[in-house]
Chains A and B, each alone.
Chain A
């Protein structure tokens, strides 16, 4: 038996992220964190915990990089 899938999913481009942390702060279900590793430019990029996203889109709007975050929503079967 499989677990019920999350309502949403978030994809973060670790190479575009500047590690400002606004998405981590803003995320209502608190499912984002800053990685411990450094990206190409020397920032700790934001990353998805892997579960719990509601596809609310808040992280997309607070992110100052126009292309760093893509939010997806579960399509009803």
Chain B
């Protein structure tokens, strides 16, 4: 009696019975003669041969690709239309030991998901992408695909795909081949025995790149869709060979497996105890007890000037100093185009009670670093409040208020004489500290040290505070 041994059978990484399928659990959902089943089988065989079933995660988006999780006994993530490479990115970045395979159709990858595939490829994500190109929208019933050949009829190109209205078919392999990062790009066909055997090799190769963690591999599969093409399965194969292959030439476009390096392993995570230091939440200075505010305070500041004059920085220094002095503080910038020059202003509150609103609509102190700022905010200053104004001359006639105390000086010229006009804001800060008994200077100095890292600048800033104090000091 002759004895036989099995040479070809269903791959181990495919379920024996498709329990996730609602019915007909022995069969795939693919139509007779569909190329998906063949592509899936070649992929399954490659996974078996590589011995990576447990590590594999299959990402299947919308279209006839969607039901891969019926068949593959691997980790499965079903995703939205076109976004599989983005989802694959999220998986592979967090799971560097896994093998991520995105399996997408032509509407998915070459139309709605072009941004996702292009950028995943460009980043060289550790991911294998199988692109099943059958030149038509199969699952939705035969609408034009981005890869439908010119002249071919579909339900949305009833007169044939027109170069002038629909554009020519999109060649994704060639587009991706313009990028630097991909390691492997090949187009195979399922048009006959020879093409299928060649495709099997390409599947193995594209997957091996993942096993070696070399980066991004892309395999385009020209696949028959006999039902929608309205061809019998044998003629559909011929259509691949004789028609599709003209628009989409079969062959390897890139194979850099010999030169490609393995992606470096991610750095080990630091111990949890290190996180506060990493997040800059620890303080090198010896722990001092939180200061008790020396007196009640309800300071509502508005600081305004041109972008680049240090408006926001001055506000931050004051808020930081207030915090160190034991007060409740808030700092609120008017953000936006100001960041790219223009006018800039911020609200600062330093008070004994908790800060209710961080918005300062009626400041008790206005620091106006130029005339437009004075003009804009002077009317809002509360009666009895103070204005520190940076002007070459006294404020114009229409920018004066008898019920507000003014300190006017050309602070920019003073700062300039100290070495940099950029210290204008700090000279004005000195004037404020002298004019009002607000916060002890040691807290301001400490806040400045925290913000200004260069000793040269610190020296200028401390000199600037002194200069400002002299200006505000009643003679």
Whether A and B touch (Cβ < 8 Å) is answered with yes
Residue numbers of A with Cβ under 8 A of B are: 5, 8-9, 13, 15-16, 18-22, 25-26, 41, 43, 55, 57-58, 60-67, 69-75, 77
Q: In the bound complex, do residue B7 and residue A71 qualify as a contact, i.e. CB atoms below 8 Å apart?
A: yes
Q: In the bound complex, do residue A70 and residue B8 qualify as a contact, i.e. CB atoms below 8 Å apart?
A: yes
Contacts of B226 in A (CB 8 A): 20
- In angstroms, Cα B193 to Cα A66, docked, is 16
Contacts of A72 in B (CB 8 A): 4-7
Contacts of B31 in A (CB 8 A): 18
- In angstroms, Cα B295 to Cα A11, docked, is 94
Contacts of B11 in A (CB 8 A): 66
Q: In the bound complex, do residue B4 and residue A9 qualify as a contact, i.e. CB atoms below 8 Å apart?
A: yes
- In angstroms, Cα B10 to Cα A16, docked, is 12
- In angstroms, Cα B10 to Cα A70, docked, is 7
- In angstroms, Cα B27 to Cα A15, docked, is 8
Contacts of B36 in A (CB 8 A): 64
- In angstroms, Cα B8 to Cα A9, docked, is 11
Closest to A73 in B: B7
Q: In the bound complex, do residue B234 and residue A66 qualify as a contact, i.e. CB atoms below 8 Å apart?
A: no
Q: In the bound complex, do residue A63 and residue B6 qualify as a contact, i.e. CB atoms below 8 Å apart?
A: no
Contacts of B7 in A (CB 8 A): 8, 55, 57, 71-73
**How distant is A13 from chain B, measured CB to nearest CB, in Å?**
8
Q: In the bound complex, do residue B196 and residue A20 qualify as a contact, i.e. CB atoms below 8 Å apart?
A: no
**How distant is B125 from chain A, measured CB to nearest CB, in Å?**
27
Q: Which of B2, B16, B44 has the most CB of A within 10 A?
A: B2
**How distant is A52 from chain B, measured CB to nearest CB, in Å?**
14
Q: In the bound complex, do residue A18 and residue B234 qualify as a contact, i.e. CB atoms below 8 Å apart?
A: no
Q: In the bound complex, do residue A66 and residue B33 qualify as a contact, i.e. CB atoms below 8 Å apart?
A: no
CB-CB contacts below 8 Å: B4-37 with A: 4-11, 14, 16, 24, 26-28, 30-37
- In angstroms, Cα B192 to Cα A65, docked, is 16
**How distant is A19 from chain B, measured CB to nearest CB, in Å?**
6
Q: In the bound complex, do residue B5 and residue A64 qualify as a contact, i.e. CB atoms below 8 Å apart?
A: no
Judge if B242 is at the interface, Cβ distance under 8 Å.
Answer: no
Q: In the bound complex, do residue B8 and residue A18 qualify as a contact, i.e. CB atoms below 8 Å apart?
A: no
Q: In the bound complex, do residue A18 and residue B4 qualify as a contact, i.e. CB atoms below 8 Å apart?
A: no
Q: In the bound complex, do residue A66 and residue B10 qualify as a contact, i.e. CB atoms below 8 Å apart?
A: yes
- In angstroms, Cα B5 to Cα A74, docked, is 6
**23 contacting pairs across A/B (C-beta < 8 A):** A8-B4, A16-B26, A16-B27, A18-B33, A19-B32, A21-B232, A22-B33, A22-B237, A61-B41, A61-B193, A61-B197, A64-B33, A64-B34, A64-B35, A64-B41, A66-B37, A66-B71, A67-B16, A70-B8, A71-B7, A72-B6, A75-B3, A75-B5
Closest to B196 in A: A61
